[in-house]
Amino acid sequence: MTSEKTSKEGLPDIQSSVDDRNIAISKVGVTSIRWPIRFVSSSQGGTAEQSTTASFDMFVSLPANRKGTHMSRFLQLLSGWDACFSLESLKKFCQTICDKLDSDDAHVTLRFPYFVDRRAPVTGEAGKIQLEVTIDVKSGSQNDLVMTVTGPATSLCPCSKEISARGAHNQRCKLAVSFRCKPQTEISIEELYEMMEQSASTQIFPILKRSDEKWVTEAAYDNPKFVEDIVRDLALALSGDDRIAWYRCSSENYESIHQHNAYGEIESDMSSA
């Protein structure tokens, strides 16, 4: 039997009391929640549903006169969300947080690994490339969604090729694109990563036999690029996609003959275009 001390009716609700300091809080909530999810890269079809584990940060704004928010409701809403996550359903999830916690604004960030299929260029050996995905969603007074995809590629130095009689140094590079789409449009993770790969000297492959390795080595040698070339070519591809309203792209090249890395970044706002 529930006693008066442990019943909901008998417990004081301190967080709902009035705060007399009169200071609003921009973001308050919970962070680093590890949670299994199902995610589909495009709400418009063409991509398969994928099971993964995400890390969630969830926040709401808090008015100046309220002492606290309802922390447990964040977890209740996440636990009760049975639908597969997509860019579209994440907007609905964020708005649900806004409504259920009676807040003007809600902000959700989730980070998760995402895998794309990749076959070796000659033998066709099948493997998977791991990408890192971050999605930032805002609902309420400032609706917004920005997705960031980070993945690997290969770069080969044009200077090294030009001055060397035998070969050129090459290395893995980390490409990243953050972007915001125009209304009623989407870009799948698979589409975006293909743009990213094509901006580098060549692709990364999880499995390579000797004939594949020969192909990759020669493909990179025939397509040398500085980090500046990579980000410029990637910017051209992103700027040429009429679904994109804003983007920031970067490449970090893990230099094989230096202790330092090389880095380049370009940002462009095309929302008025």
pLDDT reported for residue 142: 77
Q: Which tens digit of pLDDT belongs to each residue from 100-138?
A: 999 999 999 999 999 999 999 999 999 999 999 999 999
C-alpha 96/C-alpha 56 separation (Å) is: 15
Q: Choose the weakest-confidence range: 168-172, 190-194, 269-273.
A: 269-273
Joined together, the tokens standing for residue 120 give 């070796």
Would you call 204 helix, strand, or coil by DSSP? coil
Task: Quote the mean pLDDT of the chain.
Answer: 92
Q: Which tens digit of pLDDT belongs to each residue from 130-180?
A: 999 999 999 977 789 999 999 999 999 999 999 999 989 999 999 999 999
Confidence of residue 273 (pLDDT cuts 50, 70, 90): low
C-alpha 73/C-alpha 149 separation (Å) is: 29
Q: Which amino acid makes up residue 44? A: Q
* Cβ(78)–Cβ(90) below 8 Å: no
Tell me the C-alpha to C-alpha distance, in Å, between residue 212 and each of 115, 122, 224, 226: 21, 5, 19, 24
> Within a 10 A sphere around the Cβ of 117, how many other Cβ atoms?
11
pLDDT over 90 for what percent of the chain?
83
* Cβ(222)–Cβ(154) below 8 Å: no
pLDDT reported for residue 8: 63
C-alpha 269/C-alpha 66 separation (Å) is: 37
Q: Which amino acid makes up residue 150? A: T
Mean pLDDT of 244-260: 95
> How far apart are the two ends of the chain, measured CA to CA in Å?
65
Joined together, the tokens standing for residue 52 give 């993964």
DSSP letter, residue 169: -
- The architecture of the domain spanning 26-269 is Roll (3.10)
Confidence of residue 83 (pLDDT cuts 50, 70, 90): confident
Mean pLDDT of 186-214: 97
pLDDT reported for residue 258: 92
3-state SS record for 248-270: EEEEEECCCCCCCCEEEEEEEEC
Joined together, the tokens standing for residue 114 give 């995402």
pLDDT reported for residue 104: 93
In this prediction the pTM is: 0.91
